[in-house]
Amino acid sequence: MVAPELTQAEVDAFVDRLRGAACPKDPAKLIDLIAALEDLKSAACAVQAEAAVAYDAARRSVQAAVGVPVARRGRGVAAEIALARRESPHRGQVLLGLAKVLRTEMPHTLARLRGGRLSEFRAMLIARETACLEVEHRMFVDEEICADPAGLEGVGTRELVGRVKRLVAELDPAAVVKRARQAEADRNVTVRPAPDAMAYLSGLMPVAQAVAAYASLRKDAEAARAAGDPRSLGQLMSDLLLARVTGVPDTGTPESAPAVPVTVNITMSDETLAGGHAPAEASADGVAAEVIPAEVARHLIAGAADAGVIAWFRCLYRNRLGRLVAMSSKQRLHSRAMGEFLAIRGAGICASPYCDAPIRHNDHIHPADHGGETSTGNGQGLCEACNHAKQAPGWRQHVVGHRRDRQQVETITPTGHRYTSTAPAPPGWREPRYVQVGPGRYGLVA
C-alpha cells in the first residue's frame, strides 16, 4: 500500500489549526497536549529528513542532466535546505548529512524519531557517536539501541550517549582511537558573545593539554590570591590568560584588563563618541560585531589612548535613511578599503539570510562575469560556504529597494523560492517611525 502524499496545503491547514486553537482547562489534558506536541515535533523532523534526502537526489539528477561534473553535483542543496528551515548554511549541511545517514544507515533511529521516542537532537548525537564505524557496525548499533521503542523509555541523553559510546568502543576500538587522533586536527580557538558586553573565548584541544592549561592558570591564580591580590579566582585566571596570550604584562589591578596591541574595531556614531547613549559595536578581523554600551565603548577608546596603544580614527558617513557612503572601483577585485567597508556595513556577519558566520569573502551580488560592477552597492560580505553555494546552477541575487536605503539583497534559489536579507543598521541609527496625525496624514516621530 502506497502512503498518501503529504502536501504543503495540508501542513499549512494543520498549522493554522494549531495557531487558532485554545488550550484545554483540565491540567491532565494540558500535560497530554504537551506530550503530543513533542511527538509532533519529532515526527515533523523525520518528515523533513525524508524530504531533504529526496530533494538532494532530485537536484543531483537535474544537475547531472545538464552536465555538471560529479564532484560539483549537490552544491547549494544544503544552503537551500538551510534557507527553507531558517537555519545557517552550516546547520543546513549538518541536517542534510544527518538525514542521509538516518535514511540509508540508521532506519531504527529514523523510526524512533518519526514515532516521537527520539528528538532530532538525540538522533544527531547517536549519528555523531557512530560516525567512525563501518556501515555494518553502525547498523548494528542502530538496531541494538533503537530497534525496541520501549528500550528508550526513561533514558536520559547522557545515558543514551554512554550506551552508544560503549557499543562503539566494543565493536571497533581501533576506530575510536583513530577518531581521537584525527580530532586533534580540529583544535581551534573561537569567540562568541556573552551578556553584558562580555565574550567567551574557547579553546578546543586534546583533553590532557586543556587540563594542564587550566591547572596552570588556577595554580598561579591561587598563589596570587594567597599573596593578597584582591581579585577573585576567576578574574585572576582570566587576566593571566590574557597576559599570556597577548604578551602584555598583568597590571595587577582589579578594575579592568589591560589594553592590548591588537586591532579591534570600535564602530560608533559621532553622537556616541561625544557622550550620547546610542550603543556601539566592537569587532575584529574574522570576528562578527558585538553590540556594546556607549559608555563601555568610550572607556575602551580612552583606555587605549591612556595606555599608549596606537589608535586610528576613521569617519564613515550615512545618509538620512541609514545607508553608509558608497565606494566603487574599476578593478575586478574589491580593494582592501572596500572590503573593510563591506565588513563594517554588515557588522562582520555573512549577508546571507539566517547565516551568523564571520565574513570571509567579498562578493559581487550581480556577478562580475555578467557585467556586475565592483562597488559597495553591488558588493556584500559572505562566508566561504555561502559564496560557494551561490555559484551552483540556478542561484541568482539582486539588490532590491531604493538605492538610498539600507542595502537589501534578494536571493532566488533554483526552485524559485525568494529570500531577502537587509544590511544591519549602523550604530546610532534608529528606524524611522511614523504615526497617524490625521486622515491620510502621517508624521515622523523618531
Model pLDDT for residues 341-386, shown as the tens digit of each residue: 888 888 888 989 898 888 888 888 988 888 888 888 888 999 988 9
Lowest-confidence region among 29-38, 132-141, 192-201, 289-298: 289-298
Looking at residue 179, its pLDDT comes to: 87
Q: Are 193 and 248 within one domain?
A: yes
Least confident of 43-47, 268-272, 309-313: 309-313
pLDDT category of residue 319 using cuts at 50, 70 and 90: low
In this prediction the pTM is: 0.75
Q: Which of 228, 230, 262, 269 is nearest to 245 (CA)?
A: 262
Domain co-membership, 36 together with 84: yes
| pLDDT of residue 49 exceeding 90 | yes
Percent of the chain with pLDDT over 70: 84
- Place 407 in a pLDDT band, splitting at 50, 70 and 90: confident
Regarding predicted confidence, which is higher, 123 or 360? 123
Classify residue 314: in a domain, yes or no: no
- The pLDDT of residue 356 is 83
Q: Are residues 31 and 165 in the same domain?
A: yes
Q: What is the mean pLDDT of residues 34-40?
A: 95
Q: What is the pLDDT of residues 91-109, one digit of tens each?
A: 999 999 999 999 999 999 9
Residue 20 lies in a domain: no
Element (H, E) at 108: helix 107-115
* Winning range, highest mean pLDDT, from 211-215, 282-286, 404-408: 211-215
Judge whether 413 lies within some domain. yes
Nearest to 104 by CA among 162, 34, 168, 49: 49
Of 126-140, 240-254, 422-436, the least confident = 422-436
Cell 486553537 belongs to 21
User: How far apart, in whole angstroms, are the C-alpha atoms of residue 101 and residue 150?
Assistant: 23
Chosen domain end from 185, 210, 244: 185
Q: Which of 144, 148, 153 is nearest to 126 (CA)?
A: 144
Q: Are 291 and 281 in contact (CB under 8 A)?
A: yes
Identify whether residues 175 and 222 lie together within a single domain.
no
What value does the mean pLDDT take over residues 205-234?
Answer: 90
Let me know if residue 229 belongs to a domain: yes
pLDDT band at residue 307 using 50, 70 and 90 as cut-offs: low
100 and 181 share a domain? Answer: yes
Fill in the DSSP letter of residue 413: -
Q: How many CA atoms lie within 13 A of 99 on its CB side?
A: 24
Angle between helices 120-129 and 157-171 (to 10 degrees): 20
Please identify which residue in the block is written with the cell numbers 591612556: 306
* Number of domain units in the chain: 3
Q: Stretch 383-395: mean pLDDT, rounded?
A: 88
Summarised one tens digit per residue, pLDDT across range 3-14 is 789 999 999 999
Does 164 lie in the same domain as 65? yes
Pair (153, 50) in one structural domain: yes
Q: Cα dihedral sign for 431, 326, 316, 331?
A: positive
Same structural domain, 33 and 180:
yes
Q: Over range 418-424, report the average pLDDT.
A: 88
What is residue 263's predicted lDDT score, i.e. its pLDDT? Answer: 63
Last residue of a domain, one of 205, 227, 258: 258
| Nine-digit cell string for 334 | 574589491
What is the mean pLDDT of the segment spanning 18-27? 92
For residue 8, tell me if it sits in a domain.
Answer: no
Of the residues 185, 213, 247, which one is the last residue of a structural domain? 185
Quick check: 193 and 290 in contact, CB under 8 A?
A: yes
pLDDT at 133 > cutoff 90: yes
303 domain-assigned: no
pLDDT at 444 (0 to 100): 57
Examine the domain organization and report whether 357 and 411 are in the same domain. Answer: yes
Whole-Å CA distances, 55 to 86, 172, 394, 402, 420: 17, 34, 15, 35, 22
- 258-269, pLDDT tens digit by residue? 555 556 677 777
Give the domain range for residue 90: 26-185
Q: Does 163 share its domain with 251? A: no
The chain-wide mean pLDDT, for the chain, equals: 84
The per-residue DSSP string of 296-365 comes to: HHHHHHHHHHHTT---------B-TTSPBP--EESSSSPPHHHHHHHHHHTTTB-SSTT--PBP-EEEES
Instruction: Give pLDDT, residue 293.
Output: 79
Assigned C-alpha cell, 60: 543531483
Note the pLDDT of residue 17. 93
Residues 6+ apart with CB under 8 A from 21: none
**Cβ atoms of 261 and 286 closer than 8 Å:** no
Q: What is the pLDDT of residue 308?
A: 56
Length of the chain, in residues = 446
Query: For position 32, what pLDDT does the model report?
Result: 95
Distance CA 412, CA 396 (A): 5
7 vs 302, residue with greater confidence: 7
- Classify residue 390: in a domain, yes or no: yes
Res. 282: pLDDT tops 80: no
Q: Is position 132 within any domain?
A: yes
Q: How confident is the model at residue 180 (pLDDT cuts 50, 70, 90)?
A: confident
- Together in a domain, 230 and 174: no
pLDDT band, residue 402 (cuts 50/70/90): low
| 40/163 same-domain check | yes
Query: Percentage of the chain with pLDDT > 90?
Result: 43
